[in-house]
Amino acid sequence: MTALTRADLAALPSYLPGRSVPGAIKLASNEVPFGPLPGVVEAVTDVMLNSHRYPDMGVVALREKFADRLGVPIERIATGCGSVALAEHVVRAACLPGDEIVYAWRSFEAYPIIAATAGATSVRVPNTAAHAHDLDAMRAAITPRTKVVIVCNPNNPTGTPTRRAELTEFLDGVGEGVLVVLDEAYKEFVTDPDVPDGLVEYGDRPNVVVLRTLSKAWGLAGLRAGYLVAHPEVADAVRKVVTPFSTSAAAQAAALAALDQAAEMRRRADIIVAERTRVRDALLALGQDVPESQANFVWLPLLSEAAAFSQVCEANGVIVRPFQGDGVRVTIGTPAENDAFLNAAEKALA
């Protein structure tokens, strides 16, 4: 058949979600395991009575709530169908075909897809031997064609953070004409005081975009609510390219309800943080070189053994996320789920 779509998409990998297997424990998608926060189901059920109407396209109530919580004007906030969609919209707003996007690799697997669909060129900068962003090399990779740099902090899938001193130096060295997207999807799990809050510490820089999500610690992965904070002109440009009505009525209602549960979110995130230390310590005791994680997952750099390790986990009822030839990412679940994973890991590594 004659090609009816762009030829270059043939070379594009499809986004692979973490697998759900009936009856198995899913530790493959960096979700939190505790169910929706109190009030979310009721809030969504209420708005469903009006589901024949379009949602508020300006997402005003939710953007006002973010503005209040974050202490920024509402003009600086854009929302979208998850922060992955907002990352795509930032690129759509900043890049023309042939422009370059610099990001670390390995990092979030959506970045190459986002770059390619915009016709932009991906410039991948290998992580350091300690599985962290190499910010010096990333800065050196910036050319006159670079429009966007993405710093995933902490990094998915390795969990490694970028700390204040190196990020400040990096931002000081990046030209004003390059947008730096600080992807803070896992911010609520950060406990290291040297890891900066991108908005508090760099939010006044016109070229910094802070990307956040309610999918992870706030438990709304299935409802799709992400947001960003940027300079008003950048946020305005992003809102222009967002697919109309892409923050659904259910997502807006759920987000408003979830944000009222900050203390409960914190309590749950603290359980994950404590379990993260326990799981990592157990893996270190099994002889694995697991980097310290600031997210709700840990990384096992198993290289060619990644697939086999994941298969043994699956045979023992636990689904993890292999990255072929590179490593395995394991989401932190409930204490019982983590025990099941550690049992499986012991067998896989025996």
* Site residues (vs ligand PLP, CB under 6 A): 30, 82-84, 108, 152, 156, 183, 185, 213, 215, 221, 226
Phi, psi of 44 (to 5 degrees): -70, -45
- The CB-of-110 to ligand PLP minimum distance in angstroms stands at 7
Is the preceding peptide bond at 106 cis, omega within 30 degrees of 0?
A: yes
Which two tokens mark 36? 């929706």
Neighbours of 233 (CB within 10 A): 11
* Angstrom distance (rounded) from CA 131 to CA 125: 12
Nearest to ligand PLP of 90, 282 (CB atom): 90
Helix 60-70 and helix 249-259, axial crossing angle in degrees, nearest 10: 30
DSSP string over 219-282:
--TTT--EEEE--HHHHHHHHHHSPTT-S-HHHHHHHHHHHTTHHHHHHHHHHHHHHHHHHHHH
- The CB-of-1 to ligand PLP minimum distance in angstroms stands at 33
Q: Which residue is nearest to ligand PLP (CB)?
A: 82
Neighbours of 238 (CB within 10 A): 23
Nearest to ligand PLP of 268, 348 (CB atom): 268
Nearest to ligand PLP of 246, 348 (CB atom): 246
Nearest to ligand PLP of 37, 152 (CB atom): 152
- The CB-of-83 to ligand PLP minimum distance in angstroms stands at 4
Nearest to ligand PLP of 105, 349 (CB atom): 105
Nearest to ligand PLP of 139, 212 (CB atom): 212
- The CB-of-161 to ligand PLP minimum distance in angstroms stands at 12
Neighbours of 124 (CB within 10 A): 17
- The CB-of-101 to ligand PLP minimum distance in angstroms stands at 14
- The CB-of-267 to ligand PLP minimum distance in angstroms stands at 22
